[in-house]
Amino acid sequence: MTKNKESILYLEPQDDKMIRKVAWRSIIGSGTYNYENMQALVFLYAMMPVIDRYYESEEDQITAMKRHFTLFNITPAMYGFVTGLAASMEKIASKNSDYDTSSINAIKTSLMGPLSGIGDSIFWGALKVVATGVGVSFAQEGSILGPILYFLINFIPAWFVKMWLPRISFKLGINFLEQMEKTGAMALITKLCNIVGLMTIGSMATTMVKIKLAAEWTNQGTILNLQSVIDSILPSLLPVALTLIMFKFLKKGVKPMVLMLILIIFGVLGKAIGLL
Amino acid sequence: MLQALLVYLAVVLCFFVHYFFGNILTDRPLIVGTIVGLVLGDIKTGIILGGTFELIFLGITNAGGVVPANTALGTSCGVALAILSNLDASEALTIAVPVALLGSQLITLMYTLRAAMNPYIDKLIEKNEQRKIGVFIFVQAIVSYLIIFFPVFLVVAYGIEPVQAIIAAIPTFVTGGLSVASGMLAAVGFGMLLNLVWSKSLAVYFFVGYTLSAYFNIPVLGVAICGLLYSIILYISRNKKSSTLVMASGKEDLFND
């Protein structure tokens, strides 16, 4: 995209080709969203050119692909930042067999919340409101400028961000990681990443897993709601407990699909008998 | 019938472009209304109604729960019927809102069904079938959009009654149960992430994250920042130590495990 070698956006031709692919694939963002691992499929899709390039043996490729088919969810405008960064980590990991690959997912996870926060406030908060204001005021007069301006105000900034972010984060990632390898701080950084990752997962499980009991009973004329009783002891106990139970089962090798089926049946039955 | 088919495909295309070119909001009422108007030969009504719905659904989407109302489905039905049967904006809206809510049920169902296909992806990964994964993404998306927007076809071809009958026929505990389950399914995904990042020595940080969010109501972004700052503190304090102490005792480490 740029010929100037000093520029932060300059990449070697082969890297350039790969990152271009990553950027285009990252754009799909939440196009394949599902409730179990959210945008994981697109992340896997975006990482395939990277995995193909850096891992020679089929076995390593499969391990790397499995690594990226895990829960991921981010505001789509920011998607490319994380895929670009993950690409830089895969590059380092493929050359260094000591590299702790759990840090890759830890970093992905810890970036979801912060980047979504920034992206949402820029693209959903500011731009979309401006676009709606401008677009609707023209549209109410029946002017074709309404939808066109609405589209362009939303589209142009987002498109630039999506095309440039993977490039920037790939380059920053490589520089940072190589620096860390030289100074021998890699193991510490990996630990720190895992700490941030675990804290973020703890917070996300608390706020994003939704389970509420609807069961109530009457005790000496006052209505007791089971959920409010639990909330007064330990708030958000159920979402976190459910997450940990799922984790325990998964660790024992239970297939995610089986757990999801159980949850769906539990949801419908629970609703039918008034528990949920 | 041909008009119904054209409107149906146009809306599916809007949705596809929206998602596959990076959430560029071509699924919003203003764009969908314009496109439906264009297809039905009355672009001006499409734009005006689209603009009206845009404002109305702006409020509705913000108040939504896990899945916001499917504004594209609602708008396309409302605008199409308004153009074909000369309804005014408020009449079109009485069609658009219930259909939009039905649409969000369909999306909930679709996100659940897609999750059910994940084992197939696991198999493709196991065989390193990268090309098939690429094809699958597009096929899955297009098929699911065709299902989500099928009510547009019904409404434009046969009027609003059959769709209302469908809405009435679904028992509430099924739709309610599905939306309850959709809130719980993420627990499986977070469980899988934990499976990758969890280690006994660091497990306590999961509960730190829980405590910050549950008791102090700190949003995810705040918790991530807390984690980052804490990491920086650890990093600095260890660097200090390593420059003064560690040379003597090689094992001195904040993270003994």
Its ipTM equals 0.74
Q: What is the pLDDT of residue B255?
A: 47
Q: Residues of B with CB below 8 A from A188's CB? A: 235, 238, 255
Chain-chain contact of B24 with A154 (C-beta, under 8 angstroms): yes
- Pair B205, B166 in one domain: no
Q: What is the pLDDT of residue B59?
A: 55
> Pick from A34, A58, A247: which is nearest to B194 by CB?
A247
| Distance, CA of B237 to CA of B228 (rounded, Å) | 14
- Pair B8, B107 in one domain: yes
Q: What is the pLDDT of residue A238?
A: 92
Interface test with A, best of B23, B38, B179 (most A CBs within 10 A): B23
Q: How confident is the model at residue B64 (pLDDT cuts 50, 70, 90)?
A: very low
Interacting residues of B184 by C-beta distance below 8 A, sequence separation 6+: A209, A210, A211, A242, A263, A266, A267
Chain-chain contact of A268 with B255 (C-beta, under 8 angstroms): no
For chain A, say whether B246 makes contact (Cβ under 8 Å).
no
Chain-chain contact of A61 with B128 (C-beta, under 8 angstroms): yes
Q: Which residues of A2-33 are buried (b: 16+ CB within 10 A; e: fewer)?
A: eeeeeeeeebeeebbebbbbbbbbbbbbbbbb
Q: How close is the nearest chain B Cα to the Cα of A218, in Å? A: 24
Q: What is the pLDDT of residue B254?
A: 47
- Residue among A36, A23, A2, A37 nearest A76 (CA): A23
| Distance, CA of A153 to CA of A6 (rounded, Å) | 31
Chain B CA closest to residue A153: B24
CB contacts under 8 A, A 172-231 vs B, are: 188, 191-211
Q: What is the pLDDT of residue B248?
A: 43
Q: What is the pLDDT of residue A4?
A: 67
Chain B CA closest to residue A24: B21
Whether residue B257 lies inside any domain: the answer is no
pLDDT tens sequence across A44-67:
999 999 999 999 899 999 999 999
Q: How close is the nearest chain B Cα to the Cα of A220, in Å? A: 30
- Pair B143, B208 in one domain: no
Q: How confident is the model at residue B257 (pLDDT cuts 50, 70, 90)?
A: very low
- Pair B118, B169 in one domain: yes
- Pair B112, B221 in one domain: no
For chain B, the distance separating the N- and C-terminal CA atoms, rounded to the nearest angstrom, is: 69
- Pair B130, B101 in one domain: yes
- Pair B218, B105 in one domain: no
User: Is the model's pTM score more than 0.80?
Assistant: no
CB contacts under 8 A, A 79-108 vs B, are: 79, 102, 105-106
Chain-chain contact of A35 with B214 (C-beta, under 8 angstroms): no
| Distance, CA of A135 to CA of A146 (rounded, Å) | 4
Whether residue B95 lies inside any domain: the answer is yes
> Pick from A61, A146, A250: which is nearest to B191 by CB?
A250
Q: How confident is the model at residue A263 (pLDDT cuts 50, 70, 90)?
A: confident
Whether residue B254 lies inside any domain: the answer is no
For chain A, say whether B139 makes contact (Cβ under 8 Å).
no
Q: What is the pLDDT of residue B247?
A: 45
Q: How far is CA A145 from the centre of its chain?
A: 35
Q: How confident is the model at residue B256 (pLDDT cuts 50, 70, 90)?
A: very low
Chain-chain contact of A142 with B48 (C-beta, under 8 angstroms): yes
A275, B211 Cβ separation under 8 angstroms: no
In the numeric block, the tokens 């003064």 are attached to B244
Q: What is the pLDDT of residue B22?
A: 80
Q: How confident is the model at residue B250 (pLDDT cuts 50, 70, 90)?
A: very low
For chain B, say whether A150 makes contact (Cβ under 8 Å).
yes
Whether residue B36 lies inside any domain: the answer is yes
Q: How many CB pairs under 8 A join A and B?
A: 364
| Distance, CA of A241 to CA of A49 (rounded, Å) | 38
Q: Tell whether the model's pLDDT for residue B166 goes beyond 80.
A: no
Interface test with B, best of A28, A32, A138 (most B CBs within 10 A): A32
A115-130: average pLDDT: 75
Q: What is the pLDDT of residue B193?
A: 81
Q: Residues of B with CB below 8 A from A250's CB? A: 188, 191-192, 195
Whether residue B253 lies inside any domain: the answer is no
- Pair B151, B213 in one domain: no
> Pick from B28, B192, B223: which is nearest to A70 by CB?
B192
For chain A, say whether B41 makes contact (Cβ under 8 Å).
no
For chain A, say whether B216 makes contact (Cβ under 8 Å).
no
Whether residue B162 lies inside any domain: the answer is yes
- Residue among A177, A184, A105, A194 nearest B228 (CA): A194
| Distance, CA of A152 to CA of B61 (rounded, Å) | 22
- Pair B135, B24 in one domain: yes
| Distance, CA of A194 to CA of A188 (rounded, Å) | 10
Domain count, chain B: 2
Interface test with B, best of A33, A140, A180, A201 (most B CBs within 10 A): A201
- Pair B63, B46 in one domain: yes
Q: Which domain holds residue B169?
A: 2-192
- Phi, psi at residue A38, to the nearest 5°? 55, -115
Interacting residues of B131 by C-beta distance below 8 A, sequence separation 6+: none
- Pair B52, B136 in one domain: yes
Chain-chain contact of B47 with A201 (C-beta, under 8 angstroms): no
Whether residue B99 lies inside any domain: the answer is yes
Q: Residues of B with CB below 8 A from A65's CB? A: 125, 128, 130
For chain A, say whether B143 makes contact (Cβ under 8 Å).
no
Q: Residues of B with CB below 8 A from A69's CB? A: 118, 121-122, 125
Chain-chain contact of A33 with B111 (C-beta, under 8 angstroms): yes
Structure tokens at B69: 């109302």
Greatest Cα pair distance, chain A, in angstroms, is 79
Q: Residues of A with CB below 8 A from B140's CB? A: 32
pLDDT tens sequence across A125-153:
677 777 887 888 888 888 999 999 999 98
Chain B CA closest to residue A61: B128
A60: exposed, middle or buried (Cβ count in 10 Å: 0-12, 13-18, 19+): middle
For chain B, say whether A276 makes contact (Cβ under 8 Å).
yes
> Pick from A116, A143, A200: which is nearest to B227 by CB?
A200
Q: Tell whether the model's pLDDT for residue A197 goes beyond 90.
A: no
In the numeric block, the tokens 């679709």 are attached to B110
Structure tokens at A174: 């490589």
